[in-house]
């Protein structure tokens, strides 16, 4: 078995969740690496969308922002943020990758503040950007993050991007499109999803060498677990070669601890 790092395992696991022919709004960093890897291996007909307006590019190298000129390389179209959001509103985007400082059991995300009040927080974070729009309108929300109890919290300090809010039916009651919502969370310990009935986060596969107790110990709320639990497939030698030499040769993402 080839040796690999936790971030490489996360990227390969996320790439394996994307479907050929799907539409994906992606940002920079690890989610972009996952989309680029998938595009080079199993999802050649997948269409990437970038918030700044790139549609269907064939990314030559890792972009450093959603407005990087590489996000328009051999693209189907160079449009605008307004058009990207309108495309989400029309219901034709299958996946979006999002992140945040906090996530709770229902997949609500916080990237606005930590502690205190909105007017006087202990820590002011960047805010939504397009995350609320994307999380509200795309069919499936994917999150890639380190597994840490400070991130996986009982209750987020602020709901920047709605997940399933307070549970079954809450998202639809708030006026969001039926059938949309959180889908997967890929961490350095496991791949998590959501129970169909309760909408609570559940462990679906454990990374090699990780136990369910390890995952629960780094989560600030009680996790459900799918039965039977599977083991995340390790990256193949081909995936690692493409990831290291084509997707991120300068190690913008892979070099992270």
Domain 6-247 has CATH 3.40.1080.10: yes
Q: Which of 51, 119, 222, 227 is catalytic?
A: 51
Give the pLDDT band of residue 257 (cuts 50, 70, 90): low
**CA neighbor of 198 nearest in space, from 165, 231, 176:** 165
What is the spatial distance between Cα 25 and Cα 35, in angstroms, rounded to a whole number?
Answer: 10
How many other C-beta atoms lie within 10 A of the C-beta of residue 117?
10
| For residue 43, pLDDT beyond 60 | yes
Catalytic site includes residue 51: yes
Domain ranges of the chain: 6-247
Give the pLDDT band of residue 184 (cuts 50, 70, 90): very high
- Residue pLDDT, tens place only, 128-138: 999 999 999 99
């Amino acid at each position: 078995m080839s040796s690999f790092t936790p971030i490489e395992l996360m990227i390969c696991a996320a790439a394996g969740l994307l479907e050929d022919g799907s539409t994906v709004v992606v940002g920079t960093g690890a989610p972009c690496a996952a989309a680029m890897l998938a595009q080079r291996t199993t999802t050649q007909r997948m269409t990437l969308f970038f918030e700044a307006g790139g549609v269907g590019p064939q990314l030559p190298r890792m972009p450093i922002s959603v407005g990087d000129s590489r996000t328009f390389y051999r693209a189907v179209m160079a449009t605008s943020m307004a058009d990207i959001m309108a495309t989400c509103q029309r219901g034709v985007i299958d996946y979006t990758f999002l992140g945040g400082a906090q996530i709770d059991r229902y997949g609500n995300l916080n990237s606005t503040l930590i502690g205190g009040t909105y007017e006087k927080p202990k820590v002011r974070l960047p805010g939504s950007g397009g995350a609320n729009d994307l999380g509200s309108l795309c069919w499936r929300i994917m999150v890639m993050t380190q597994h840490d109890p400070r991130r996986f919290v009982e209750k987020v300090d602020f709901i920047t991007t709605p997940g399933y809010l307070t549970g079954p039916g809450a998202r639809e009651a708030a006026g969001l499109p039926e059938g949309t919502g959180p889908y997967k969370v890929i961490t350095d310990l496991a791949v998590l999803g959501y129970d169909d009935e309760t909408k609570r986060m559940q462990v679906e596969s454990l990374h090699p060498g990780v136990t369910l107790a390890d995952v629960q110990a780094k989560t600030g709320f009680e996790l459900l677990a799918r039965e039977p639990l599977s083991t995340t497939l390790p990256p193949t030698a081909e995936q690692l070669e493409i990831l290291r030499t084509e997707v991120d040769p300068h190690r913008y993402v892979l070099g992270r601890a």
